[in-house]
C-alpha cells in the first residue's frame, strides 16, 4: 500500500470522540423514552391509585423534562462513557478490538464504582439497593458505550432511526397487547361474600368490620358529599347494621351495599388485587375518578 493511502486509511479509522459523545447521549435519551413507554404499559395492568394522575400536567412537564434528561445524559456520557471508550481503545491495541468491546461493561463498572460507593457510604445506604443501582447504571451506560464504539458512516442516524422504531414499536405492540388481552389489563378481583368477612381499614385507621352472618360495624368511616376532594375532611360515621354483596355481571360491576342507621353511604365498588382487595367509593363529581378506599386488614396492618 502506498504511504499516502495508508495515512488516509488511518485517518478514516481514527475515532471521533465527539460522535461517541453524541451517540451516547442519544442512546441515553432513547433508553429513558423506552423505560417511560414500558412503565405506562405496566401501569395499565395495575389497580388505579386513590387519586388519578393528571395526564395534562404530566404531559406539560415532559417538555422541560426532555431537556433535563438530555443534560443528564450528556453529563453521564462525558464522565463515564467517554473515558470507558477511550480506555477500551487503549486496551484494544493490546488485546484486540473484540476483547476490548467485551470489556466495556467492566470499564464502565469500574468508573462508576467510586462515586456510587462514596454516595452509599455517606448516606448509609443498604447494600442490596446500591448493588442493584450499580448494576442497572452499568448496563445502561455500557449499552451507550458499546454502540458508540461502532465505526461506520451514518451511525448517529442509524441509532436514531432504529432506536426510535424500537420505542414506537414497543408502544404500538404493547397497546395492541392490552386491547387484545395478550397483555392482560387490570380488572378487579372477584371477592365474593366469604372474602368480605373481616376488617377493612382506610388510610387513617377507620374500619368497617363485616361478619359472615351479614352484620357490619363501622368505626369512623368517612361519608363523602358530592364535590368533596381527596384533600377534604369529611365527617366520619360509626354504627352497626347489615351488608349484602352483589356479584354483578362482571368483576367491574361487583357492589357491596351497607345499611347502617345514620350512615348514608352509596354502594361500594370492588378494586385492588387478589392479594390485597379493596372496596371503594368515588369522591368528587362525576368523572373525577378519585377514590376513597378501604383495604382488607391482615395481621400487622395497618403499618
**In terms of domains, do 17 and 145 share one?**
yes
1 domain-assigned: no
Residue 92 confidence (pLDDT)? 85
**In terms of domains, do 222 and 161 share one?**
no
Q: Mean pLDDT across the stretch 217-225?
A: 90
d(CA 196, CA 295): 11
The more confident residue out of 227 and 18 is 18
53 to each of 40, 57, 129, 295, how far by Cα in Å?
12, 9, 27, 21
The more confident residue out of 262 and 8 is 262
**At which residue does the C-alpha cell 361500594 appear?**
268
303 domain-assigned: no
**In terms of domains, do 134 and 51 share one?**
yes
**In terms of domains, do 100 and 205 share one?**
no
Last residue of a domain, one of 157, 180, 203: 180
**In terms of domains, do 97 and 201 share one?**
no
Last residue of a domain, one of 180, 206, 239: 180
DSSP tag of 182: S
**In terms of domains, do 28 and 164 share one?**
yes
90 domain-assigned: yes
pLDDT-derived band at 147, boundaries 50, 70, 90: very high
d(CA 280, CA 269): 5
Q: Which pLDDT tens digit goes with each residue over 163-175? A: 999 999 999 999 9
302 domain-assigned: no
DSSP tag of 220: E
d(CA 217, CA 78): 62
Which are the contacts of 197, defined by CB distance < 8 A and separation ≥ 6?
210, 211, 212
| Bridge partners (DSSP) listed for residue 278 | 271, 295
d(CA 78, CA 82): 5
**In terms of domains, do 231 and 171 share one?**
no
274 domain-assigned: yes
d(CA 189, CA 243): 19
Q: Which pLDDT tens digit goes with each residue over 180-201? A: 888 888 889 998 898 899 999 9
Residue 6 confidence (pLDDT)? 41
CATH assignment at residue 259: 2.40.128
- Say how far residue 35 (Cα) sits from the centre of its chain: 8
**In terms of domains, do 158 and 199 share one?**
no
pLDDT-derived band at 94, boundaries 50, 70, 90: confident
Residue 143 confidence (pLDDT)? 94
| Number of domains the chain contains | 2
Q: Answer yes or no: pTM beyond 0.85.
A: no
Intra-chain end-to-end CA distance of the chain, in Å? 77
Last residue of a domain, one of 121, 145, 180: 180
195 to each of 2, 203, 277, how far by Cα in Å?
85, 20, 9
**In terms of domains, do 205 and 59 share one?**
no
**In terms of domains, do 147 and 216 share one?**
no
**In terms of domains, do 291 and 269 share one?**
yes
224 domain-assigned: yes
253 domain-assigned: yes
Residue 230 confidence (pLDDT)? 59
**In terms of domains, do 139 and 256 share one?**
no
Domain that holds residue 78: 8-180
22 domain-assigned: yes
**At which residue does the C-alpha cell 451506560 appear?**
141
Amino acid at each position: 500500500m502506498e504511504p499516502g493511502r495508508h495515512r488516509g486509511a488511518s485517518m478514516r479509522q481514527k475515532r471521533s470522540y465527539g460522535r461517541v459523545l453524541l451517540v451516547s447521549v442519544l442512546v441515553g435519551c432513547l433508553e429513558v423514552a423506552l423505560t417511560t413507554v414500558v412503565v405506562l404499559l405496566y401501569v395499565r395492568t395495575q389497580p388505579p391509585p386513590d387519586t388519578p394522575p393528571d395526564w395534562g400536567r404530566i404531559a406539560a412537564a415532559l417538555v422541560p423534562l426532555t431537556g433535563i434528561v438530555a443534560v443528564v445524559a450528556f453529563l453521564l456520557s462525558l464522565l463515564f462513557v467517554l473515558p470507558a471508550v477511550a480506555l477500551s481503545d487503549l486496551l484494544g491495541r493490546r488485546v484486540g478490538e473484540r476483547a476490548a468491546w467485551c470489556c466495556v461493561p467492566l470499564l464502565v463498572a469500574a468508573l462508576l464504582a467510586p462515586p456510587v460507593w462514596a454516595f452509599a457510604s455517606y448516606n448509609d445506604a443498604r447494600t442490596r439497593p446500591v448493588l442493584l443501582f450499580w448494576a442497572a447504571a452499568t448496563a445502561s451506560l455500557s449499552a451507550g458505550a458499546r454502540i458508540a464504539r461502532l465505526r461506520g458512516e451514518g451511525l448517529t442516524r442509524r441509532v436514531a432511526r432504529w432506536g426510535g422504531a424500537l420505542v414506537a414499536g414497543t408502544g404500538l405492540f404493547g397497546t395492541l397487547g392490552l386491547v387484545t388481552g395478550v397483555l392482560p389489563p387490570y380488572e378487579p378481583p372477584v371477592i365474593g361474600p366469604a372474602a368480605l368477612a373481616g376488617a377493612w381499614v382506610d388510610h387513617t385507621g377507620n374500619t368497617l368490620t363485616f361478619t359472615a352472618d351479614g352484620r357490619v360495624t363501622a368505626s369512623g368511616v368517612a361519608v363523602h358529599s358530592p364535590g368533596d376532594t381527596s384533600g377534604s375532611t369529611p365527617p366520619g360515621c360509626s354504627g352497626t347494621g347489615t351488608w349484602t354483596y352483589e356479584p354483578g355481571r362482571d368483576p367491574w360491576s361487583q357492589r357491596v351495599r351497607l345499611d347502617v342507621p345514620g350512615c348514608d353511604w352509596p354502594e361500594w365498588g370492588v378494586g385492588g388485587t387478589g392479594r390485597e382487595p379493596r372496596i371503594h367509593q368515588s369522591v368528587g363529581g362525576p368523572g373525577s375518578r378519585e377514590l376513597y378506599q378501604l383495604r382488607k386488614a391482615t395481621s400487622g396492618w395497618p403499618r
